[in-house]
Amino acid sequence: MKVMITGGAGFTGSALVRHLDGCADIEIVVVDCFTYAANPASLEPLVQRGDIRVVRQDICDLHAVLELVTRERPDAIMHLAAESHVDRSITGSAPFIETNIVGTWVLLEASRALLASLGEAKAEAYRFLHVSTDEVFGSLGADGAFSESTPLDPSSPYSASKAAADHLVMASSRTYGFPVLLTNCSNNYGPRQFPEKLIPLMILNGLEGKPLPVYGDGLNVRDWLHVEDHARALELVLRKGRPGERYAIGARSERRNIDLVKQICDRLDKVAPPLARPRRELIGYVPDRLGHDRRYAIDPSKIERELGWSCSAGFEGGIDATIDWYLNNREWWAPLRANSGGPAPRALAAAGT
Summarised one tens digit per residue, pLDDT across range 116-152 is: 999 999 999 999 999 999 999 999 999 999 999 999 9
Q: Which residues contact 20 (CB under 8 A, 6 or more apart)?
A: 3, 5, 26, 28, 231, 235
Three-state DSSP state, 23: coil
Summarised one tens digit per residue, pLDDT across range 297-353 is: 999 999 999 999 999 989 999 999 999 999 999 999 999 888 754 434 333 344 344
Please count the other Cβ atoms lying within 10 Å of the Cβ belonging to residue 204.
Answer: 19
Residue 36 is a catalytic residue: no
Give the per-residue pLDDT at 340.
59
User: What global pTM score does this model have?
Assistant: 0.94
Residue 266 is a catalytic residue: no
Domains within the chain, CATH numbers bracketed: 2-194+224-255+292-315 (3.40.50.720)
Catalytic residue among 126, 158, 215, 326: 158
Cα gap 133→48, rounded to integer Å? 32
Give the per-residue pLDDT at 313.
81
Residue 37: burial class (beta carbons within 10 Å; 0-12, 13-18, 19+): buried
Tally the residues of the chain: 353
Catalytic residue among 83, 135, 229, 254: 135
Q: Which whole number is the average pLDDT over 226-235?
A: 98
Mean pLDDT of all residues belonging to the chain: 94
Question: What does the DSSP assignment read for 312-338?
Answer: ---HHHHHHHHHHHHHH-HHHHHHHHH
Taking 70 as the threshold, does the pLDDT of residue 207 lie above it? Answer: yes
CA of residue 250 relative to chain centroid, distance: 12
Rg (CA), the chain: 20
Residue 247 is a catalytic residue: no
DSSP run (H or E) holding 79: strand 76-79
